[in-house]
Structure 1
Amino acid sequence: MTRAYDAIAEGYAALNATSLLNEYYNRPAIAELAGEVAGRRILDAGCGSGPISADLRDRGAVVTGIDASAGMLDQARLRLGPDADLLVADLAEPLPFADDSFDDVIASQALHYLEEWGPTLAEFRRVLRPGGRLIVSEEHPAAIFLADRLGGGSAEYFGVRARTEEWSLGGQTAQLVFWDRPLHAMTDAFAAAGFRITAISEPAPSPAAYERFPEAFVDRPSGRFLAFLLFVLEAPGA
């Protein structure tokens, strides 16, 4: 996955900055759930090209970004500047931070690259202070299941399974592997790691989305669609 994202880093960063799902859907939803972040120490886990880190920093947070792809972090430095606190780190490995280092951890579209969530969630719990928050954004398992069925597939909803996609961005092609899991597997993993769910969100797009992408809402009278599922999790105090 690291080599794959290194190959498409520049194209992915450009897409991420303009797409409906990222710029007008996921990022506003995370910002709303995060609320007031001024002065909070936040780990952007799987920060990619840094758009969420930029949002948080602009609102006064002290942000550290980590990603397994050095190419993606190069794109993040272009966005955030050379003084940004960015580190190469693999979410499948122990995190290079002391216990209780952060007030919040943001994991946006990052956990689905992992077959096993347990060790990573345990590390998030370790580096969060008591009472800290983990905000997770993931592909909605129902949306994945429906897309597979509408495409003529026969994937089982239940269980953890790999899904491979080929992405072509910026003149480069890469194969990406995602690990799909049902909702109960997500919540079971959160509970096993000691987190308490305080909010679940199936967000609406930002108001600007309707003007920027009118064609996407022609057959959606509600103005909503099923794409991502977001959680706010609390690390209970001792």
Structure 2
Amino acid sequence: MRDWGPTLHELRRVLLPGGRLLVSVDHPFVAYGSQQLAGGSPNYFDTYNWTFNWTVGGRTVPMSFWVRPLHAMVDAFTTAGFRIAVISEPQPVPTARELFPEQYRALTTGPGFLFFVLEAV
């Protein structure tokens, strides 16, 4: 979904004023940093589709994400008629240390996701 505009406008249309939309997205620095570490030269300010392989449970599957800089997300939300009430960079829950002991440090010291609370105006 390269252009969020139509979807965001439709979501805003069906919400009453003051209604909320909760959005979770990959932190924009995740793709940028990962691609730099892999020897690439990404442009943080571009919007593009990024596909890579994830191996989970012994099975490898392609994962595809739309990468957007933070200002592009903010612009899309406000243009669609939302006010940003909260932007959060969440930390893992404490049980993540037990479930993912080898990845725990990376999960707690680098960006992963952004959560937005949007209010219809």
Q: Is 2:103 the partner of 1:226?
A: no
Q: Distance in 2 between matches of 1:135 and 1:201?
A: 11
Which residue identity does 1:160 align to in structure 2?
Answer: T
Q: Work out the percentage of aligned pairs sharing the same amino acid.
A: 53
* SS across alignment from 1:148: helix
- Structure with the higher strand share, 1 or 2: 2
Is the alpha carbon distance of 1:200 and 1:176 closer, same or farther for their aligned partners in structure 2, counting shifts above 3 Å?
same
The aligned runs of 1:140-159 (5 Å cut-off) are 140-159=27-46
Q: Is the 8 A contact 1:205 1:224 kept in 2?
A: no
Q: 2:99 aligns to what?
A: 212
Q: Distance in 2 between matches of 1:167 and 1:226?
A: 18
Q: 2:9 aligns to what?
A: 122
Q: Distance in 2 between matches of 1:211 and 1:171?
A: 21
Q: Distance in 2 between matches of 1:178 and 1:166?
A: 11
Q: Distance in 2 between matches of 1:219 and 1:226?
A: 9
Q: What is the CA deviation profile of residues 152-188 of structure 1, one whole-angstrom value per residue up to 9, with x for unaligned ones?
A: 1111111211212245667876544322110000000
Q: Is the 8 A contact 2:96 2:104 kept in 1?
A: no
Q: Give aligned pairs, total.
A: 121
- Structure with the higher helix share, 1 or 2: 1
| Aligned Cα root-mean-square deviation (Å) | 2.2
Is the alpha carbon distance of 1:199 and 1:117 closer, same or farther for their aligned partners in structure 2, counting shifts above 3 Å?
same
- Larger Rg: 1 or 2? 1
Which residue identity does 2:34 align to in structure 1?
Answer: A
Q: Is 2:65 the partner of 1:178?
A: yes
Compute the displacement of 1:143 (Å). 1.7
Q: Greater relative contact order (Cα 8 A, min sep 6): structure 1 or 2?
A: 2
The aligned runs of 1:1-238 (5 Å cut-off) are 114-167=1-54, 175-218=62-105, 223-236=108-121
Give the gaps of 5 or more residues in structure 2: none
* SS across alignment from 2:29: helix
Is the alpha carbon distance of 1:183 and 1:219 closer, same or farther for their aligned partners in structure 2, counting shifts above 3 Å?
closer
